Structure 1
Amino acid sequence: MKQHLDTSLLQQHALLFLLKFLKEQNYRFTVITPLTHERIIKRKEGLSSRFTTLRDIFGWNLPFAPEDLDPQLFVLLEKADLIRIENNQCFSKIRVASLEDELFIHSAFPTVENDAVFFGPDTYRFYYHLKQYLLTQSPSCQRAVELCCGTSAVAISIAKRFPSISEIFTADINPKALFYSQVNQQFNGLENIYPIHSNLFSNLEGSFDLIFANPPYLMDIQERQYRHGGNNLDGTELSFNILREAVKRLAPNGSIFLYTGISISQYGNKFLEAIQSWIINYPTLKCTYEEIDPDVFGEELEQPNYQHIERIAVVLVKITAI
């Protein structure tokens, strides 16, 4: 137990040092889809000689030599077990992404571990649409929660953009996600964000003016936490459960903002059908459903679980208590 605690403290210190170092170096890295990332890595590996940059190490997760890094930074990361050695080459065990002007720790590429913490194109889209939504709302939101928070990048960015929100809870079932969330929160110097280990609302109390989420929505054969949204409703079981639980925790005039992917087959859209048959039981709720991207993660259609699916789309579901 003590050794685990010591390792966590070492990693926390090393990650905060890394973020500060990268910020001073004006580091920026936009995370792309795993398939595109893999293509770029193959292209870079084909170069016979090149200068190893910070983006190569902490963005693309390419191999590097100890001398490619600042000596103090390398020692800190090595002591904190944040560097792995393979075939006499070093690899960072984490990545750093940028969103607007801030930096965020998340899991290294490829995200194969069950407890990997994902940051990707959905993070950017989710933040953009939530920001646009809040800009059109009255500034009465005081208490908010992000479910399935991952890195808490969206909650942190929302807190900085909308300082009138008194407190934001960031909930996740994955301890590693909460650890990265804590590091990201500390680095950004925010005191009104509270990471909490919770299976949806299990460890959360009270009602909320705003409930927002970007949950896993794929039918992942390995059922990795950051990808798998359940086998029912073609991968949107978790998304639908969030809506069902969230309406019980809405404050008067509160709202739910759900960003999720849905699978559409020749037989229709199971997620939308489930919402339509469920929401009629709540006449005091206003619900809107909007498809914002008709075709994402097309490579998933090659998987056995998706042989009946024609496309995966991204949708926004907004529910307001009237």
Structure 2
Amino acid sequence: MPDTAAPAATDDALLMLLRRLDEDGYDFVTPTPLTHQRVVRRPGMQEARSVRDVLGWSLPFRDGLLAPDLFDALDAAGMLARDGDLWRSAVRVSRVHGLLFLHSAFPTAEEDSVFLGPDSYRFADFVAREMGHDCRLHRLVDVGGGAGVGALVAAARCWAREALLTDVNPRALRLARINAQHAGIPLATRLASGLGDAPQDCDLILANPPYIVDPAGRAYRDGGDLHGGEISLEWARAAIPKLAPGGRFLLYTGSAILEGGRDRLREELRRVAEDAGVALAYRELDPDVFGEELDTAPYADVERIAVVGCVITKPR
């Protein structure tokens, strides 16, 4: 499908916001939702006292707290909402690997929320480690790329003639385009599900798919069957035919480790790689995340949820 573009005036307002924040040295690291909830429950956190409170902690704020140009930029972009006598921003801004990213305000409860959190930082680290030195690519694709963390971190370290980000969420595509423009990185976007519409002969395909079983079925969170690993497996199958000789598929995802230490996702990915005649490298990046999910019925037979990094390489 063709790129989805927002009105230029609203994009320009958000670009101005990012430029001003960069000039002022703005910095915020987005924590997990549980940590966020704990922090904003503390005394003195009911109302914003700084730009960081507004655009990081998503706290309501009074008229006059933000500089007029920042307030006007959020207003012009349609990113302000009334909360009684206060205002709230509909976006957050976080810094990942030196780059600023617009994403959805807390809490990310809406179906089309644009998520960025601790997984985004681990994903960025994984991608950066795999880029190497003096890297040059003909074609890079970030599938389900959200706010653009994977694509922009990769492109900032590895020159790419073509860089494409796909997502099913038009809000994500809009914010990714703005984030890329602010970073000075050319990035095309496409409204698409999975890799069906991705071009052939890709040197690098990136994916950070959802990997938790989500009863609400939110697109940015629900990984489907296989204890949330279904989408990861589907994207791996779809990526292999899209790779150029020597091309790589970098998959950052979670795997439910079953009783006795069995990793079914690893088993399934190994079968896929063997059937396709490609090389597979697979390692745990974090042994234990989202432990609260183990209290829910879909995870009754799961010991832990591990974050894993998978690299599939097509022979030259």
TM-score tier (shorter): over 0.9
Q: What is the alpha-carbon distance in structure 2 between the residues aligned to residue 116 and residue 170 of structure 1?
A: 17
- Asked whether the equivalents of residues 273 and 312 of structure 2 are also in contact (C-alpha less than 8 Å), the reply is no
List structure 1 segments (4+ residues) > 4 angstroms apart after TM superposition.
Answer: 48-51
1:73-128 per-position Cα deviation (integer Å, ceiling 9, x unaligned): 21332243211111222111000000122211000001000011111111111111
Determine the structure 2 residue equivalent to 1:121: 118
- Asked whether the equivalents of residues 197 and 203 of structure 1 are also in contact (C-alpha less than 8 Å), the reply is no
Q: Does 1:226 align with 2:223?
A: no
Q: What is the alpha-carbon distance in structure 2 between the residues aligned to residue 60 and residue 311 of structure 1?
A: 29
1:59-81 per-position Cα deviation (integer Å, ceiling 9, x unaligned): 00011112001123213322432
Equivalent positions of 1:236-275 (< 5 A) are 236-266=229-259, 268-275=262-269
What's the TM-score, normalizing by structure 2?
0.92
Partner of residue 161 from structure 1, selected from 119, 144, 157: 157
- Asked whether the equivalents of residues 296 and 313 of structure 1 are also in contact (C-alpha less than 8 Å), the reply is yes
Q: What is the alpha-carbon distance in structure 1 between the residues aligned to residue 311 and residue 282 of structure 2?
A: 7
**Number of aligned pairs?**
311
- Asked whether the equivalents of residues 234 and 270 of structure 1 are also in contact (C-alpha less than 8 Å), the reply is no
Determine the structure 2 residue equivalent to 1:143: 139
Determine the structure 2 residue equivalent to 1:20: 19
- Asked whether the equivalents of residues 11 and 82 of structure 1 are also in contact (C-alpha less than 8 Å), the reply is no
Quick one: structure 1 residues 303 and 315, their matched pair in 2 at CA, closer, same or farther if it must change by over 3 Å?
same
Task: Say which is worse superposed, 104-113 or 69-78, in terms of deviation.
Answer: 69-78
Q: What root-mean-square deviation, in Å, do the aligned CA atoms of Structure 1 and Structure 2 show?
A: 2.0
Identify unmatched segments of 5+ residues in structure 2: none
Q: Does 1:205 align with 2:199?
A: yes
Q: What is the alpha-carbon distance in structure 1 between the residues aligned to residue 199 and residue 38 of structure 2?
A: 45
Shift of 1:224: 0.6
Q: Does 1:320 align with 2:313?
A: yes
- Asked whether the equivalents of residues 131 and 158 of structure 1 are also in contact (C-alpha less than 8 Å), the reply is yes
Look up the equivalent residue of 2:143 and give its one-letter code.
Answer: L
Q: What is the alpha-carbon distance in structure 2 between the residues aligned to residue 215 and residue 318 of structure 1?
A: 14
Determine the structure 2 residue equivalent to 1:67: 64
1:172-228 per-position Cα deviation (integer Å, ceiling 9, x unaligned): 11111101111111112222x211111122222222011111111110110111101
Q: What is the alpha-carbon distance in structure 2 between the residues aligned to residue 277 and residue 100 of structure 1?
A: 34
Equivalent positions of 1:301-320 (< 5 A) are 301-320=294-313
Shift of 1:50: 8.2
Q: Secondary structure at the match of 1:196?
A: strand
Determine the structure 2 residue equivalent to 1:105: 102
Task: Say which is worse superposed, 267-276 or 239-248, in terms of deviation.
Answer: 267-276
